[in-house]
């Protein structure tokens, strides 16, 4: 009898050890949470999500031995979705006068659930930053980085264009950044070289190139909806393309909306994604005063010198006789119509606000962009997809991020309400998970307070 009891004790102990062994000491359990399926818009109720080694290892309705998890997050009545991508971001360069600016900027993105950024003005330091993020050496979103700017000053000749494109591809940049001012012959040489070496390109549409030729050339994305308004002006108007003003603003009265469908069809045919950066046009280039914008709470995370510069630039663009509010209203109406058509009938939209730019504080500006997209008529699901699923497709990385699925990276947002019902829920974070590391609301608020304090007087 004694031997039988000892045997039973041994079996029970072994069984407990086996069960405990099934729970990794590094695993995190998000329990009883509602998962947003960003592909379908469906809600998967009361799910349990296990995170380990930076990935989603299991999703199930029930979980064995939940009590054995040392890292637990209560998801009851909350909503779990993929982290957002800021597809028109800017990463500062290292600064001796402001050594914390890079880390602060990256955290500002994370604080609003942005776990992937596409840096749109590359610098050699960003290549190192990208690798450090990838290897979890720094707390940062997933980083994709453009090359340094290709523009009318940096590539003036065909030979220079070919040399720089090949060099940037060899140095490891993810894509080329196209800026204004490039002459057509030089542009074509740059694009042909890019195709030869296998590096994509994105960004602005130089005036000499035009939006139709740009799309035919194979842009991965056209940002700011650049060139589209100019593309609505009939040839019979005989305008000088260089008189277009701020993204075509000067041609507003000449735009023929009947040309919209042609441009939208071209974007779909040539698989060109569109990043609207609409927040720029409803904040910087808009009839709202700098004083009103400076009163917004997120401005405390920017240095005073930056805010003063933003105010000065805005004054040059919107506080003069050339800026007419009625014309701006018509200009913005055309932009919103283009956004809606490009979403419904084009290749699709990517979420990007162009931060930090004029009154667009990193992370926080994404909510202004979302509101601009909503006003254009996009649905909450379409807007959420523009910042989750679509960027994963864009980067050919659907096996890495963009959805809450087993095997994908644990880059997640936990929300207190359903953003499919009210997009403002995206502001109400319980926490953010980046590469499996959990940042609670308390963690985020504490770090934000430090950033605000650090920027006093700068």
Each residue of 331-373: pLDDT tens digit?
999 999 999 999 999 999 999 999 999 999 999 999 999 999 9
Angle between the N-to-C axes of helices 101-111 and 441-454, in degrees from 0 to 180, rounded to the nearest 10 = 140
> CB neighbours (10 Å) of residue 262?
11
* Residue carrying the six token digits 């009839």: 287
Q: How far apart are CA 31 and CA 75, in angstroms?
A: 5
In the predicted model, what is the mean pLDDT of residues 279-294? 96
0.75 exceeded by the pTM?
yes
Do residues 61 and 48 touch, judged by C-beta distance below 8 A?
yes
Q: CA-to-CA distance for 336 and 374, rounded, in angstroms?
A: 10
| Beta-carbon count within 10 A of 255 CB | 22
C-alpha–C-alpha distance, residues 168 and 379, integer Å: 38
pLDDT (0 to 100) of residue 391? 98
Model pLDDT for residues 104-131, shown as the tens digit of each residue? 999 999 999 999 999 999 999 999 999 9
CB 84 within 8 A of CB 113: yes
Q: Which residues contact 416 (CB under 8 A, 6 or more apart)?
A: 78, 79, 425, 428, 429, 430
Q: d(Cα 329, Cα 280) in Å, to the nearest integer?
A: 14
Contact call for residues 76 and 412 (beta carbons, < 8 A): no
Give the span between the Cα atoms of 347 and 275, in whole angstroms. Answer: 11
pLDDT at residue 96, as a whole number = 78
Instruction: Establish whether the linkage from the previous residue to 356 is cis, with ω within 30° of 0.
Output: yes
Tell me which residue of 253, 152, 168 sits closest to 209, measured CA to CA: 152
Give the closest residue to 191 by CA, choosing from 183, 200, 179. 200
For the chain, list the domains and their CATH numbers. 82-402 (3.20.20.140)
Say if residue 9 is exposed, middle or buried (CB neighbours under 10 Å; 0-12, 13-18, 19+). Answer: exposed
- Nearest to residue 89, comparing CAs of 26, 24, 133? 133
For 55-111, write each residue's pLDDT tens digit. Answer: 999 999 998 888 899 999 999 999 999 999 999 999 999 887 888 899 999 999 999
Owner of token pair 């609670």: 440
Count Cβ atoms below 10 Å from residue 131 Cβ, excluding itself.
13
Among 17-21, 376-380, 383-387, name the one with the lowest average pLDDT.
Answer: 17-21
**High-pLDDT (> 90) share of the chain, %:** 90
User: In Å, what is the CA distance from 195 to each residue of 200, 202, 322, 364?
Assistant: 7, 13, 41, 36
Give residue 15's pLDDT band: very low, low, confident or very high (50, 70, 90): very low
Whole-number Å distance between alpha carbons of 86 and 118: 6
- Contact residues for 307 (Cβ-Cβ < 8 A; gap 6+): 294, 299
145-163: average pLDDT: 98
* Angle formed at CA 379 by CA 386 and CA 37, multiple of 5 degrees: 60
């Amino acid at each position: 009898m004694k031997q039988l009891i000892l045997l039973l004790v041994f079996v029970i102990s072994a069984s407990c050890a086996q069960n405990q062994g099934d729970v990794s000491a590094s695993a995190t359990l998000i329990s009883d949470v509602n998962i947003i399926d960003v592909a379908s818009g469906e809600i998967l109720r009361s799910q349990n999500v296990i995170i380990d080694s930076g990935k989603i290892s299991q999703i199930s309705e029930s979980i064995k031995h939940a009590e054995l998890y040392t890292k637990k997050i209560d998801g009851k009545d909350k909503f779990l979705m993929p982290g957002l991508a800021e597809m028109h971001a800017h990463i500062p360069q290292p600064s001796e006068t402001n050594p914390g600016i890079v880390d602060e900027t990256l955290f500002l993105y994370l604080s609003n659930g942005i776990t992937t950024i596409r840096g749109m003005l590359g610098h050699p330091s960003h290549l190192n930053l990208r690798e450090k993020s990838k290897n979890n050496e720094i707390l940062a979103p997933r980083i994709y980085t453009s090359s340094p700017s290709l523009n009318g000053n940096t590539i003036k000749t065909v030979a220079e264009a070919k040399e720089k494109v090949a060099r940037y591809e060899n140095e490891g940049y993810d894509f080329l950044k196209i800026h204004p001012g490039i002459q057509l012959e030089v542009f074509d040489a740059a694009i042909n070289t890019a195709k030869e070496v296998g590096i994509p390109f994105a960004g602005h549409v130089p005036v000499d190139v035009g939006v139709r030729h740009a799309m035919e050339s194979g842009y991965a994305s056209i940002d700011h909806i650049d060139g589209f308004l100019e593309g609505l002006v009939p040839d019979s108007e005989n305008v000088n393309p260089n008189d277009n003003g701020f993204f075509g603003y000067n041609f507003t009265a000449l735009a023929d909306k009947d040309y919209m469908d042609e441009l939208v069809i071209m974007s779909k045919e040539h698989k060109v994604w569109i990043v609207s950066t609409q927040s720029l046009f409803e904040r910087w280039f808009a009839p709202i005063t700098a004083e009103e914008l400076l009163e917004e709470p997120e401005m405390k995370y920017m240095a005073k010198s930056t805010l003063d510069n933003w105010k000065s630039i805005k004054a040059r663009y919107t506080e003069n006789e050339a800026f007419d509010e009625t014309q701006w209203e018509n200009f913005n109406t055309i932009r919103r119509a283009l956004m809606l058509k490009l979403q419904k009938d084009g290749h699709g939209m990517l979420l990007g606000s162009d931060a930090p730019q004029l009154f667009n504080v990193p992370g926080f500006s994404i909510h202004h962009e979302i509101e601009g997209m909503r006003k254009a008529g996009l649905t909450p699901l379409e807007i959420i997809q523009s910042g989750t699923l679509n960027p994963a497709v864009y980067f050919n990385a659907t096996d890495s991020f963009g959805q809450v699925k087993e095997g994908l990276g644990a880059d997640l947002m936990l929300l207190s309400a359903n953003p499919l019902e009210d997009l403002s829920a995206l502001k109400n974070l319980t926490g953010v998970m980046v590469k499996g590391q959990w940042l609670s609301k308390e963690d985020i608020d504490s770090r934000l307070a430090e950033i605000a304090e650090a920027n006093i007087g700068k």
